[in-house]
Amino acid sequence: MVRPNEEVEALLQEYADLIAITGGDPFKARAYEKAARAIGGYPADVSHLDIKGLKEIPGVGKSIAEKVIEYLRTGHVTVVEETRAKIPAGVRQLITIPTLGPRKAMALYEDLHLSSVGELADAIKAEKLRDLKGFGEKTEENILHGIALMQQAGERILLSTAMETAEDIVTELSRITGCENCAYAGSLRRMKETAGDIDILVAAARSAPFMGALTELPPTAEVIAHGEKKTSIRTVKGVQVDLRVVRPDAWGAGMQYFTGSKAHNIRTRTIAVHLGLKLSEYGLFETEGGKRVASRSEDEVYTRLGLPWIPPTLREDRGEIEAGLRGELPEVVTEADINGDLHTHTDLTDGLAPMEEMVAAAAERGYAYYAVTDHAPNLYMQRMTDEKILAQREHVRSLNGKHHGMRLLHGTELNIGPDGEVDWPDEFLQGFDICVASVHSHFNLGRTAMTRRIVRACNNPHVNVLGHPTTRLIGKRPGIDAGLDEVFAACARTGTALEINAQPDRLDLGDENILRARSHGAKFAIDTDAHSIPQLAYLRYGVGTAQRGWLTPDDVINTWPLRRLRRFLRKDRAD
């Protein structure tokens, strides 16, 4: 299937749902639905068509064609954004249940104030739906069936979603008497960008109280298996959680085993075999005689295997075993190493909080410096002007050093145009302390043009950071098609840092690309791209991703002291 067609199909389908949900004209909704399907199934790439060409697609009239053009040009459609803003995300989530139509979803929202699949499941359990007009016991059953179907689809969940659920559960289980240790393991501990399920480990003499507690926690919707060694549940959000209880003296072996990855474990078990040992979730044992030689801590297990303790984020069999054996594991970057955030927004553009509040919150995090980088004018929806950004600069200067001595950098997030041009001329760009530049439109240029475009932006003496370099959205939009090796080499050559955007649905660059970029000698910036105060805490996901890419503090410009950072930001300019 052609990628742009797929994107446009999803967008038009969403708009059709939004129209139906807001009680709009059903004929109009149906027209968009039809057009969506027609474009999805259209054999030629719609991004190469003009209005006239688009109108030749069955079911696509002038108004729909114009919206498609707007989307292909800017990456969004104003009227869709506006309609979307009227409806809580939860209601949009409700209509993803296969057996629940938009009209019923809206009724549930208006009459019962339900706005998530979880709340809906709870309401059905409390038999609250059957008395609503147009609903009944049969509808309740149908909807539950739909929720089950959706859950079976078994989508992987974002790291942040998994983390929030896991931390809540760990907190709850840790309170139970007899709990000697409790932690999450699996892909979540390895900070993989998505998780298939959540694996939780408890160390305790008796397992029953923990197994029982898990099945009764508020987020638990369904018990999949309830046993002595392992219990599995599904949460109201459809996330599976596996709980294992191990004996306290086998905590380390259990954590080592259930953290994985599978590929890493195969390597550690093979090393054990060569040493005449056997490694399992219960411990490291002598093959002959079965004497246990290590199990209490992970450190003990690794040491007995002749390895240093290996950070979970490296356990993917991507060279960490060899590096460990040679004593050359990297000292990976940690959250504590980060001295500041270099890509953030305020309510001057699409952020939610005023600058003073963002700055105060950043200072609370202990940062030495912080960059304010609102959107530049070519992202038309944000309505940025020269006057506004210059006024903001005055404001930034007036707050500089006022919060725990934190230094403020005034920057912007430029838009990389189709030919690699950015929003302002050189003289104007000169006034910024830092410029992030990102692709926000023209996602489908073709590889050669896309590569040339980005390399040209890197060559711009004022562009310091390439923002969310591939523009992928996890589970929603693939990254752009560009010659990434050329881009990474250009970044290394020009002194342009590659961003590791910490937004959980971006994590862009991702681990594999970081490894590749690092081999070109590029530098990185781990940024949150925060649009609100809570999002400043997304940093941890960016750091986890950076660790998975084997980065050390020296690779990451925002671990550096301000003086070194400022030198980097000057690139090779003479000014």
Binding site residues, ligand DGT, CB under 6 A: 186-187, 192, 195-197, 199, 257-258, 260-262, 265-266
Partner whose footprint covers residue 299, from ligand DGT, Zn ion, Ca ion, none (CB < 5 to 8 Å by kind): none
The answer to whether 385 and 346 are in contact (CB under 8 A) is no
Partner whose footprint covers residue 442, from Ca ion, ligand DGT, Zn ion, none (CB < 5 to 8 Å by kind): none
Can you read off the two tokens belonging to residue 263?
Answer: 């590929």
Closer CB to Ca ion, residue 220 or residue 400? 220
Partner whose footprint covers residue 265, from Zn ion, ligand DGT, Ca ion, none (CB < 5 to 8 Å by kind): ligand DGT
Closer CB to ligand DGT, residue 264 or residue 343? 264
Omega prior to 261 cis, within 30 of 0: yes
**Binder among 75, 186, 311, 510 for Ca ion (CB under 5 A):** 186
**Interface mask toward Ca ion for 223-252; x: CB under 5 A:** -------------------x----------
User: Looking at 191-199, 458-466, 481-489, 508-516, which segment touches Ca ion (CB under 5 A)?
Assistant: 191-199
Closer CB to ligand DGT, residue 161 or residue 346? 161
Dist. CA 534–CA 273, nearest whole Å: 47
Is 299 near Ca ion (CB under 5 A)?
A: no
Closer CB to ligand DGT, residue 186 or residue 542? 186
The kind and range of the H/E element at 438 are: strand 434-438
Helix (H), strand (E), coil (C) string for 528-541? CCECCCHHHHHHHH
**Binder among 70, 164, 180, 197 for Ca ion (CB under 5 A):** 197
Closest CB 188 distance from ligand DGT, rounded Å: 7
Closer CB to Ca ion, residue 186 or residue 544? 186
Partner whose footprint covers residue 262, from Zn ion, ligand DGT, Ca ion, none (CB < 5 to 8 Å by kind): ligand DGT
Closest CB 440 distance from Zn ion, rounded Å: 9
Is 316 near Ca ion (CB under 5 A)?
A: no
Omega prior to 72 cis, within 30 of 0: no
Closer CB to ligand DGT, residue 91 or residue 166? 166
What is the phi-psi region of residue 48: left when phi exceeds 0, alpha when psi lies from -120 to 50, beta otherwise? Answer: alpha
Dist. CA 61–CA 72, nearest whole Å: 16
The answer to whether 174 and 214 are in contact (CB under 8 A) is no
Closest CB 557 distance from ligand DGT, rounded Å: 31
Listed in sequence order, the residues at least 6 apart from 290 whose beta carbon sits closer than 8 Å to its beta carbon are none
Q: Binding-site residue total for Ca ion (CB under 5 A)?
A: 5
**How far is residue 131 from each of residues 119, 126, 136, 145, 456, measured CA to CA in Å?**
17, 11, 7, 19, 62
Backbone angles phi, psi at 138, to 5 degrees: -65, -40
Closest CB 100 distance from ligand DGT, rounded Å: 28
Dist. CA 258–CA 265, nearest whole Å: 9
Backbone angles phi, psi at 182, to 5 degrees: -150, 130
Query: Largest alpha-carbon pair distance within the chain?
Result: 80
Dist. CA 162–CA 368, nearest whole Å: 30
Q: Could you please report the per-residue DSSP string of 278-310?
A: EEETTEEEETTT--EEE-S-HHHHHHHTT----
- Count of helix runs (H) and strand runs (E) in the chain: 24, 17
Partner whose footprint covers residue 413, from ligand DGT, Zn ion, Ca ion, none (CB < 5 to 8 Å by kind): Zn ion
Closest CB 155 distance from ligand DGT, rounded Å: 12
Partner whose footprint covers residue 499, from Ca ion, ligand DGT, Zn ion, none (CB < 5 to 8 Å by kind): none
Closer CB to ligand DGT, residue 197 or residue 481? 197
User: Looking at 74-82, 183-191, 363-371, 503-511, which segment touches Ca ion (CB under 5 A)?
Assistant: 183-191
Q: Could you please report the per-residue DSSP string of 153-189?
A: T---EEHHHHHHHHHHHHHHHHTSTT--EEEE-HHHH
Is 199 near Ca ion (CB under 5 A)?
A: yes
Closer CB to ligand DGT, residue 238 or residue 340? 238
User: Looking at 178-186, 213-221, 384-392, 548-556, which segment touches Ca ion (CB under 5 A)?
Assistant: 178-186
Backbone angles phi, psi at 315, to 5 degrees: -80, 70
Residues that bind Zn ion (CB under 5 A): 413, 529
Q: For residue 101, which of 146, 136, 59 has the smallest C-alpha distance?
A: 146
CA 400 to chain centre: 31
Closer CB to ligand DGT, residue 315 or residue 442? 315
Closer CB to ligand DGT, residue 187 or residue 464? 187
Closer CB to ligand DGT, residue 199 or residue 298? 199
Give the single-character DSSP code of 376.
P
Closest CB 451 distance from Ca ion, rounded Å: 36
User: Looking at 59-67, 147-155, 194-202, 483-491, which segment touches Ca ion (CB under 5 A)?
Assistant: 194-202
Dist. CA 229–CA 244, nearest whole Å: 6
Residue nearest to ligand DGT (CB): 260
Can you read off the two tokens belonging to residue 200?
Answer: 């939780």
Closest CB 407 distance from Ca ion, rounded Å: 41
Closer CB to ligand DGT, residue 220 or residue 261? 261
- 55, 60, 66, 72 alpha-carbon torsion, rounded to 10°: -90
User: Looking at 181-189, 267-275, 337-345, 567-575, which segment touches Ca ion (CB under 5 A)?
Assistant: 181-189
Closest CB 548 distance from Ca ion, rounded Å: 16
Closest CB 237 distance from ligand DGT, rounded Å: 16
Is 66 near Ca ion (CB under 5 A)?
A: no
Residue nearest to Zn ion (CB): 529
**How far is residue 62 from each of residues 35, 41, 58, 69, measured CA to CA in Å?**
12, 19, 12, 10
Is 527 near Ca ion (CB under 5 A)?
A: no
Q: Which residues bind Ca ion (CB under 5 A)?
A: 186-187, 197, 199, 242
